[in-house]
């Protein structure tokens, strides 16, 4: 996925992505690179392709930290998936091959983990969507410190097709509210602020 907020700390971003995507299936790994080229991108590696497909269709265009997530399948298998399939090939840098054998790094340092897999939600290059598409999950931010799951559940329970609330424990003032469909989530958004 791409178009992630680059100002969020790496650990917090990883935990938030886990909270968002874990509802779709078992996550094997979440890979983030903070290099200039890869900043704002992440790879979420699911155990099953069906989990990745559900996540791709459900979360595509989801507004996350004031940006719209762009999600696409990765083009190659990640190392962890390749090892499970038995197709893993150790990756070697081109410049390593040019060095004399005496100067080459030990083989343990040659392996570089690069994220991407068939059952992965991966990077996308291209224009971001300007308008937020409909989604059945609402992302809440700037919640007061005293907010808890019970309070949010009672608040949103008045809306039809309300499913559940997930309060992010490590992200202060962040929560997700899930509805059965986009129509009901959108109706909730149109409700006046005072409820």
Same structural domain, 147 and 181: yes
Q: How many domains does the chain have?
A: 2
**Which residue has better confidence, 46 or 65?**
46
pLDDT at residue 127 in the model: 36
State how far the Cα of 81 lies from the Cα of 84, in Å rounded to an integer: 5
Same structural domain, 2 and 65: yes
Note whether 121 and 44 are within 8 A (CB). yes
What is the tens place of the pLDDT at every residue in 123-149? 444 333 335 667 888 888 888 888 888
Of 102, 126, 150, the position where a domain reaches its end is 126
Confidence of residue 194 (pLDDT cuts 50, 70, 90): very low
pTM (two decimals): 0.50
Same structural domain, 50 and 76: yes
Q: Is 60 exceeded by the pLDDT of residue 102?
A: no
pLDDT at residue 98 in the model: 62
| Domain assignment of residue 14, given as a range | 1-126
Same structural domain, 63 and 7: yes
pLDDT at residue 190 in the model: 78
Give the H/E segment covering residue 45: strand 42-46
Alpha helical stretches, state H, the chain: 10-21, 49-59, 79-85, 94-98, 107-110, 149-156, 182-190
pLDDT at residue 130 in the model: 37
Confidence of residue 108 (pLDDT cuts 50, 70, 90): very low
Tell me which range, 48-57, 83-92, 170-179, is most confidently predicted by mean pLDDT: 48-57
For 124, the token pair is 């996308």
Confidence of residue 26 (pLDDT cuts 50, 70, 90): very high
State how far the Cα of 188 lies from the Cα of 195, in Å rounded to an integer: 9
Same structural domain, 114 and 23: yes
Residue 146 belongs to a domain with what CATH number?
3.30.70.330
DSSP class per residue in 168-183: -SSSTT-EEEEESSHH
**Which residue has better confidence, 97 or 194?**
97
Same structural domain, 88 and 170: no
């Amino acid at each position: 996925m791409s178009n992630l907020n680059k100002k969020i700390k790496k650990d917090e971003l990883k935990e938030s992505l886990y909270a968002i995507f874990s509802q779709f299936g078992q996550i094997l790994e979440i890979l983030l690179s903070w290099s200039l080229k890869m900043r704002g991108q992440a790879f979420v590696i699911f155990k099953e392709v069906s989990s990745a497909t559900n996540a791709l269709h459900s979360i595509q265009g989801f507004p996350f930290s004031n940006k719209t997530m762009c999600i696409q399948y990765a083009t190659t298998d990640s190392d962890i998936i390749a090892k499970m399939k038995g197709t893993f090939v150790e990756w070697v840098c081109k410049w390593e091959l040019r060095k004399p054998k005496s100067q080459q790094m030990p083989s343990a340092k040659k392996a570089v983990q690069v994220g991407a897999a068939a059952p992965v939600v991966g990077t996308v290059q291209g224009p971001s969507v300007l308008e937020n598409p409909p989604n059945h999950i609402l992302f809440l931010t700037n919640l007061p410190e005293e907010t808890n799951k019970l309070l949010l559940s009672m608040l949103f329970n008045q809306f039809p097709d309300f499913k559940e609330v997930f309060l992010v424990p490590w992200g202060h003032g962040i929560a997700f509210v899930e509805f059965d469909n986009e129509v009901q989530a959108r109706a909730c958004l149109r409700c006046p602020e005072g409820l």
